[in-house]
């Protein structure tokens, strides 16, 4: 096993939970396992392991990028859990989705809220409108 | 309640049907309700309420933008109903999808056709190819 | 010349001005002329010539789709002129951009406003914020 | 029937299998059949029938474009089958998805692998990491 | 002036520098000023002013979203400056672009690096490859 | 220097010309050089070097993906040259752009045609419309 794959699995598992990197590769059949491995080696072994941003910062950036692209619900659920594992609060996670904007955000926030509830998090109350 | 939220609910309900604005907010949990409220205040209270375009024009523009983005099926269904409520004909709605183009249009037109049928609309016949 | 190309040139020229369809093809070199011709045959000969929507409606839909995609400034300028030629008011054109949303709209509205000024149109005043 | 529709059906059926072009049109209701017909006339009658690229090359390009757009799973499944019908190997098809990149590729490769298995193809083994 | 516009200008100016909110509106002609105003009222008066994320966090999220969309160079330059004004380090800003990924990132990082240099920032050295 | 970087430079230079990989890194300042290096290591060292597709196939796929994304003119010019260097004919390159579709294709085909002319290629003539 290469050092990058090793480092990548370590960071992937910090985000998704113990043993999940091996699970991602095994979920794919044959040649497609190479793509899963690249995701671990490059996105996690090369990028997530860099200094300069905390893991919590990286998880919020990944959520912002996923909301902007739209769709990609499995990744959105995974990184919601990853953000919790990295120490982000539910408020930070939901504010990240609100910050990133329409119209993708309204679909994304349902996925993220459901994922937070599934991970046993309490959903912070709405701020409601300012009186003006 | 702010004047913008009030105006937004009025326009939202003109599009989606009586009581739907409150339903949108209640469908979300906690903090996510703020995002639903912004959708109503900004998209409907600020934008839909502007003069210069009719509600029917705005609904066709929203459909064109949704088809272009792709995905976003719940919004596509909602604005199909909204376009009917705003007085657009099934022909105008389907022609808007045809106008907006490939490859998203071919997936979108199924969603829109199914939504029109669900709302009790008769689907206009195909024009068929020109003889040439 | 095929009937579709003939019909397409007629509708293209209604949008962009007399003689512009031939100009579009001549602007391209060699094989790329086929792509320009397809644009005329398909987008204008097949789609724009359909009944069910007016030319003015189609121009606003094209603008909404272009703002949503982002970039594509030459097409945005062309369809701003096309919308004027189809009888849309500057207010309808600018409201279409405002309706279609952030962040692309803020870049697009500069292109559209500049194009309107270049075509000798007077820019309608801002509505300004509601007092509340 | 026009010559373009005739040519389009011939190429569409080479890609998707005998009789599928008529099936695509019949799957749509009323006016939406025109959009399906345009897909056959333009994409297959005009574009796929052009010389200069083999059908196998065109299928890989369509897959690359679909992976880049993201979503569009029905088209991704259809063109996976089309690529097999055009003589592409499972390796070429899966490498096309791997080549086209993250983050859409990881979702796309599941759809493509499942489609290959459904079409009775053997999935080539992963290359695995280089020892370094 | 509404309270939201007032709050929006305050936050906009924290990001872009004193007096810039009024400048954004004045840069637009007539009706387009309303769109600039909405950008200030909604994005800054409603969203940026929310608790739950620091201004520095919000600036990195805006950069991640802009890199993901691609193009939008004026906004990318503006939020690079905004991130500096919010107290982000050049390393955090550049790592945000690197985190957000290919192929848009390679174009974006030139815009961001040039903007950092223009704002008098020292560019941190590359980490270089791991020895392995 | 790592083996992946070494392999990546070799493939990058096969595409863009001798010495260009080092040039790409040197064009960037400081930290941004890491992103350029990742592009070489991952896109070329990991992906382009894989068996299963020829370099000529990979260049056409890269062009299809770039046309689909839109914008990204520097990459479009670079891969036009790369496709020529990999042995693709001008016809294959231009047909790839035509295959990939509207409205991005019409902007892209100008960039690609200009790049082909700049690289001393003769532009094949248009096929013109079928008589029907």
Closest among B52, B34, B39 to B9, alpha carbons compared: B39
Task: Determine the residue among B101, B106, B111, B117 to mutate to test chain D binding: the one whose Cβ has the most chain D Cβ atoms within 10 Å.
Answer: B106
Q: Give the 3-state DSSP-derived string for A35-84, with helices as H, strands as E and coil as C.
A: HHHHHHHHHHHHHHCCCCCCHHHHHHHHHHHHHHHCCCHHHHHHHHHHHH
Task: Determine the residue among A45, A50, A57 to mutate to test chain E binding: the one whose Cβ has the most chain E Cβ atoms within 10 Å.
Answer: A57
Asked if F38 is an interface residue toward chain A (Cβ–Cβ < 8 A), one would say: yes
Task: Determine the residue among D43, D68, D88 to mutate to test chain F binding: the one whose Cβ has the most chain F Cβ atoms within 10 Å.
Answer: D68
Q: State whether residue D19 is helix, strand or coil.
A: coil
Q: Using CA coordinates, name the residue in chain A closest to E58.
A: A99
Query: Who among B53, B69, B94 is closest to C92 (CB)?
Result: B53
Instruction: List, for residues E13-37, the tens digit of each pLDDT value.
Output: 999 999 999 998 888 888 889 999 9
Contact D8, B71 (CB under 8 A): no
Contact B52, E30 (CB under 8 A): no
Show the tokens assigned to C95.
């409201």
How far apart, in whole angstroms, are the C-alpha atoms of residue B53 and residue D114?
47
Query: Who among E38, E47, E50 is closest to B46 (CB)?
Result: E38
Q: Do F29 and E123 touch (CB under 8 A)?
A: yes
How far apart, in whole angstroms, are the C-alpha atoms of residue F49 and residue E61?
34
Provide mean pLDDT across the span B15-39.
90
DSSP code string of chain C: --HHHHHHHHHHHHHH-TTHHHHHHHHS-TTHHHHHHHIIIIIIIIIIT-SSS-HHHHHHHHHHHHHHH---HHHHHHHHHHHHHTT--HHHHHHHHHHH-TTHHHHHHHHHHHHHHHTTPPPPPP--PPP-
For position C43, what pLDDT does the model report?
A: 93
Q: Which residues in chain B are closer than 8 Å to C65, comparing Cβ atoms?
A: 64-65, 67-68, 100-101
From the number of C-beta atoms within 10 Å of its C-beta (0-12, 13-18, 19+), residue C118 rates as exposed
For position C74, what pLDDT does the model report?
A: 86
Q: Using CA coordinates, name the residue in chain B closest to C129.
A: B46
Pure H helices in chain E? 3-16, 20-27, 32-38, 55-69, 73-85, 90-100, 104-118
Q: Which residues in chain F are closer than 8 Å to D52, comparing Cβ atoms?
A: 91-92, 94-95
Q: Partners for C (CB, 8 Å, 3+ pairs)?
A: A, B, D, E, F
Provide mean pLDDT across the span A1-20.
92
Distance in angstroms between the alpha carbons of the first and the last residue of chain E = 61
User: How close, in Å, is residue D102 to chain E by CA atoms?
Assistant: 8
Provide mean pLDDT across the span A102-112.
80
Instruction: List, for residues A23-34, the tens digit of each pLDDT value.
Output: 988 888 888 889
> How is chain D split among helix, strand and coil, in percent rounded to 5?
70, 0, 30
Q: Is the pLDDT of residue A75 over 60?
A: yes
Q: Partners for F (CB, 8 Å, 3+ pairs)?
A: A, B, C, D, E
Q: What is the mean pLDDT of chain E?
A: 88
Q: Using CA coordinates, name the residue in chain C closest to A68.
A: C103
Considering only residues E124 and C65, tell me which one the structure prediction assigns the higher pLDDT: C65
Query: Exposed e or buried b for every residue in E96-127, given b needs 16+ CB within 10 A?
Result: bbbbbbebbbbbbbbbbbebbeeeebebbebe
For position D105, what pLDDT does the model report?
A: 77
Provide mean pLDDT across the span D86-112.
85
Asked if B9 is an interface residue toward chain A (Cβ–Cβ < 8 A), one would say: no
Query: Who among C102, C109, C130 is closest to E32 (CB)?
Result: C109
Percent pLDDT > 90 in chain A is 56
Asked if C20 is an interface residue toward chain B (Cβ–Cβ < 8 A), one would say: no
Stretches in chain F below the pLDDT threshold 50: none
Q: What is the pLDDT along chain C (132 residues), one digit of tens a residue?
A: 589 999 999 999 999 999 999 999 898 888 889 999 999 999 999 999 999 999 999 999 999 999 998 888 888 899 999 999 999 999 999 999 999 977 678 788 888 888 888 888 888 888 887 655
Q: Do C46 and D46 touch (CB under 8 A)?
A: no
Q: Which residues in chain B are closer than 8 Å to C95, comparing Cβ atoms?
A: 50, 52-53
Show the tokens assigned to E63.
């950069």
User: How close, in Å, is residue C21 to chain F by CA atoms?
Assistant: 14
Tell me how far CA of residue E131 lies from CA of C23, E124, E125, F3, in angstroms: 57, 20, 17, 10
Residues 99-128 of F with CB under 8 A from B: 101-103
Residues 49-108 of F with CB under 8 A from D: 50-53, 57-58, 60-62, 64-65, 67-69, 91-92, 94-96, 98-101
Q: Do E91 and F33 touch (CB under 8 A)?
A: no
How far apart, in whole angstroms, are the C-alpha atoms of residue F93 and residue F88?
7
This prediction's pTM: 0.91
ipTM of the prediction: 0.90
Q: Is the pLDDT of residue E107 over 90?
A: no
Q: Partners for A (CB, 8 Å, 3+ pairs)?
A: B, C, D, E, F
């Amino acid at each position: 096993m290469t050092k990058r794959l090793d480092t990548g699995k370590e960071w992937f598992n910090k985000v998704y939970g113990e043993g999940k990197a091996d699970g991602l590769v095994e979920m794919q059949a044959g040649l497609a396992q190479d793509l899963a491995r690249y995701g671990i080696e490059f996105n996690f072994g090369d990028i997530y392991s860099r200094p300069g941003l905390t893991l919590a910062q990286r998880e919020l950036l990944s959520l912002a990028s996923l909301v902007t692209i739209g769709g990609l619900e499995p990744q959105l659920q995974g990184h919601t859990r990853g953000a919790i594992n990295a120490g982000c609060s539910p408020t930070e996670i939901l504010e990240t989705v609100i910050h990133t904007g329409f119209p993708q955000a309204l679909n994304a926030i349902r996925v993220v809220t459901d994922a937070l509830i599934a991970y046993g998090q309490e959903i912070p109350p709405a701020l409601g409108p300012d009186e003006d």
